[in-house]
A and B are shown apart, each in its own frame.
Chain A
């Protein structure tokens, strides 16, 4: 007998087939609470049912990997008894509906993922994508998201040290807010969620449970219609102050032996945390919902189990440790309650006011959740675009100024000055560089961190675009002198039920995997955000990559600023003038076409290892990786960072000048080295079979480009600076 109508089932995002599967698993019809629990556990967001088959193909192991995907975050050994714990996660749908709270709770969620594992968070990064700057909603969304991130991260005292901001009309109805957090933990004190053993107390701690965020995971697993804003009540409200207390209290309790297993309540709240802990531990769980601390009167078991109220943790304690836990949570003024215990039944049993309100087998909720091999049409990569098929700009200087002042290339200072990027006093290099550098507290070692993806490349060729995201992250870490360790991925795509979108997903994952394998750069954590579509229009495929590297000696690090007069500028890597899918092509020539630059992974590795060896040997004074906007834009960034000009003389070019200057060929860096060390660098490059070209010298107060048959182009630094800095504040002020 069932009172659940097909409408109710559909409202829970379950297909008729999935509903039959539930009935079959239970041998009866579920009640509404049970249906709700299945609906969130089987949502795309929690079950990865469309992507899991492909995610399994990614390389996830390596000599330093302590925990790969499957835990709250990935864990990688740093040596000297420490590990880095990190992950990137999306909060896309909520941030579109309510940008401040959506972004803020995105930060809160990823912080919890990291400190749940016993790590103190030390860095945040944000990869943000917005719609066209002239779309009526964009300005409001940018301002709201940035202040939401600032409001949460600044308060909790974790520096926001890097990230990305891009604009494209495909994000008009679906912005992307991908937040990455890294923390440091003792490598032998990593906490996990598997609740093994029966009869152990289950403790709830943190904010009280309210009615906010009910069905957030389901919302994140469906397309938006025109009525997206009506979903505002499903957006959670963040309280960074409580999170700070929770962070300190959890770390304090973790220093004792009280905790057997711990899981934060994120998407799908109490449901997913309790199911995951018991399922992973091969145990069972009983919760008495009458004991759950509630913010409002009269909350039903359905509301409690599906609430996504923030700043909550669930932990299984060693029996007898309740007093220790209570003393610490009292000190930090946090609500805590024993709400149940583990069992050996393999079931989740919920009681409320003395009645059993749900009794479900764990298997079908977790490991046996649906897994789909969705039909996928392999994408047709865009054709290569010959360098000379793109006409030279009439005015090279004007083109360069336009490009460095364009929405995607202008300075992001307006954004990152709102983030406390220095709290912790360990930030060695904050936002604006190739990778952020955060010192490992109390040592002379440091983490390097970056977040990268080039969605327009992924749209033109998802496989190459996936490769490129990984390669660029690797290159950014290398450019500051770090040894790349591992990555986290945040896969943002449209509706996987459409074979063309599923084709993008598959190809991008294959590209990520190929590059990760070639560069020994395993994927240790990640998140998938699908259904980023509004009224049938999907976002550009955006497989964001967050990466962490290790600087084993802080004194051997590189910065991209030009500093020393007379230093020799050189270009590492081969330039063919690849303008396909470039920013020059899109923003100056007005064309979005062509294949993205091919990624030669062996060249990446060879060139990158060469550059890192120069940094380690102290042979270079400045290093910058080349990416969006190519060589010319990189030189502007280097000049502005060091307030120092350069004279660049280009001869014997393999392609037209504008293709050389603006082409986005991969595996390239600009380096500056002392004049008396330049020959040695040339020799070293020759020995390493790394292409190297002298570009010119550092000095003066202008950036000058010279080539045969052309009057020199000279742009004064203040002119460059005004163009570069001007766009963002002007955009925000309207």
Chain B
């Protein structure tokens, strides 16, 4: 399975997700610079966490308009799975690949902790490694993770079974609407989530619950 990690200036989880991808796929991902306009042939594109372009203007706003994103949009249209983690999720909403937006956390502060998350659907390449309803321990680290969309959009996401992950009721760390931690595109081939599965992939991490996300992808792509 070939994978590609997009590196924006200010990305800072690019290496971490590359480590997780290599551990699962056995091959190092291609690291693609934001200024490139052509993607290598790949079975998965990852937009990593970090502070692309310093998060200046709005989180993800400038990255969404970088040269490489045209190629990412094109690949996504052709069905190449795209995974956006944290800042990557913000970029996906700014690029229009996913609906809604990520607002400043309700508590106004950056929050870094390991939270309880429920798998809301197992029906996607990203979540097929889990049982629906399974409870995961996943780290979060963000200042702007408060998922927001209008009620109509939220209803549609739920009707179409596109909520991939939810914070466990009563433990919503950022004020996200309907406890949403991650959502899928209509095609179910684009996932954006605020938690960091790559920080929950090894025995020394707070949990290994993130690993099944990458393993599930491998199962589909291989």
Which residues of chain A come closer than 8 Å to B199, judged between CB atoms? 422, 425
Interface of chain A residues 205 through 259 with chain B (CB within 8 A): 239-242, 244-245
Contacts A240-B51, A417-B111, A425-B199 given: A155-B10 contact, CB under 8 Å? yes
Which residues of chain A come closer than 8 Å to B33, judged between CB atoms? 331
A244 touches B51 (CB 8 A): yes
Could you mark each residue 136-168 of chain A with 1 if its beta carbon is under 8 Å from any beta carbon of chain B, else 0? Answer: 000000000001001100111100000000000
Q: CA–CA, A417 to B50, complex, Å? A: 17
The answer to whether B187 has its CB under 8 Å from any CB of chain A is no
Q: CA–CA, A62 to B56, complex, Å? A: 46
Contact of A241 among B19, B54, B111, B112 (CB under 8 A): B54
Contact of A157 among B13, B143, B206 (CB under 8 A): B13
A439 touches B204 (CB 8 A): yes
Complex: chain A residue closest to B11, CB-CB: A157
Which residues of chain A come closer than 8 Å to B12, judged between CB atoms? 155-157, 244, 423
Which residues of chain A come closer than 8 Å to B171, judged between CB atoms? none
Which residues of chain B come closer than 8 Å to A425, judged between CB atoms? 13, 16, 19-20, 198-199, 201-202, 205
B112 touches A420 (CB 8 A): yes
B16 touches A428 (CB 8 A): no
Which residues of chain A come closer than 8 Å to B19, judged between CB atoms? 425
Q: CA–CA, A478 to B199, complex, Å? A: 26
Q: CA–CA, A419 to B111, complex, Å? A: 7
A422 touches B204 (CB 8 A): no
B113 touches A332 (CB 8 A): no
Q: Give chain B nearest CB distance to A76 CB in angstroms.
A: 23
Q: Give chain B nearest CB distance to A430 CB in angstroms.
A: 9
The answer to whether A421 has its CB under 8 Å from any CB of chain B is yes
Q: CA–CA, A245 to B50, complex, Å? A: 13
Q: CA–CA, A717 to B206, complex, Å? A: 22
A422 touches B196 (CB 8 A): yes
Complex: chain A residue closest to B112, CB-CB: A420
Interface of chain A residues 249 through 275 with chain B (CB within 8 A): none
B10 touches A241 (CB 8 A): yes
The answer to whether A679 has its CB under 8 Å from any CB of chain B is no
Could you mark each residue 325-367 of chain A with 1 if its beta carbon is under 8 Å from any beta carbon of chain B, else 0? Answer: 0000001110000000000000000000000000000000000
Which residues of chain A come closer than 8 Å to B161, judged between CB atoms? none
B55 touches A332 (CB 8 A): no
Contact of B112 among A422, A428, A554 (CB under 8 A): A422
Could you mark each residue 95-116 of chain B with 1 if its beta carbon is under 8 Å from any beta carbon of chain A, else 0? Answer: 0000000000000011111000
The answer to whether A707 has its CB under 8 Å from any CB of chain B is no
Q: What would 30 A/B residue contacts be, using CB atoms closer than 8 Å?
A: A147-B109, A147-B110, A154-B110, A154-B112, A154-B141, A155-B10, A157-B12, A157-B51, A241-B54, A242-B54, A244-B12, A244-B51, A245-B9, A331-B33, A331-B35, A417-B109, A417-B112, A417-B113, A418-B109, A418-B110, A419-B110, A420-B110, A422-B139, A422-B206, A423-B13, A424-B16, A425-B16, A425-B19, A428-B204, A554-B204
Which residues of chain A come closer than 8 Å to B56, judged between CB atoms? 241
Q: Give chain B nearest CB distance to A324 CB in angstroms.
A: 18
Which residues of chain A come closer than 8 Å to B143, judged between CB atoms? 154
Interface of chain A residues 146 through 197 with chain B (CB within 8 A): 147, 150-151, 154-157
Q: Give chain B nearest CB distance to A78 CB in angstroms.
A: 18
Complex: chain B residue closest to A446, CB-CB: B204
Which residues of chain A come closer than 8 Å to B139, judged between CB atoms? 422
B residues within 8 Å of A by Cβ? 9-10, 12-13, 15-16, 19-20, 33, 35, 49-51, 53-56, 109-113, 139, 141, 143, 196, 198-199, 201-202, 204-206
Q: CA–CA, A419 to B13, complex, Å? A: 15
B112 touches A421 (CB 8 A): yes
Given contacts A154-B112, A418-B112, 14 further A-B contacts (CB under 8 A): A150-B109, A155-B12, A240-B51, A241-B55, A242-B54, A331-B35, A332-B9, A417-B109, A417-B111, A418-B111, A422-B196, A424-B15, A425-B199, A426-B204
B198 touches A239 (CB 8 A): no
Q: CA–CA, A332 to B7, complex, Å? A: 12
Which residues of chain B come closer than 8 Å to A423, judged between CB atoms? 12-13, 16, 49, 141
Q: Give chain B nearest CB distance to A419 CB in angstroms.
A: 6
Which residues of chain A come closer than 8 Å to B54, judged between CB atoms? 155, 239-242, 244
Contact of A419 among B112, B198, B202 (CB under 8 A): B112
Q: CA–CA, A150 to B12, complex, Å? A: 15
A155 touches B141 (CB 8 A): no
Which residues of chain A come closer than 8 Å to B9, judged between CB atoms? 241, 244-245, 332-333
Complex: chain A residue closest to B204, CB-CB: A428
Which residues of chain A come closer than 8 Å to B16, judged between CB atoms? 423-425
Q: Give chain A nearest CB distance to B114 CB in angstroms.
A: 8
Q: CA–CA, A196 to B183, complex, Å? A: 57
Complex: chain B residue closest to A158, CB-CB: B12
Which residues of chain A come closer than 8 Å to B112, judged between CB atoms? 154, 416-422
Q: CA–CA, A419 to B15, complex, Å? A: 19
Interface of chain A residues 402 through 426 with chain B (CB within 8 A): 416-426
B51 touches A241 (CB 8 A): yes
Q: CA–CA, A526 to B182, complex, Å? A: 45
Complex: chain B residue closest to A429, CB-CB: B204
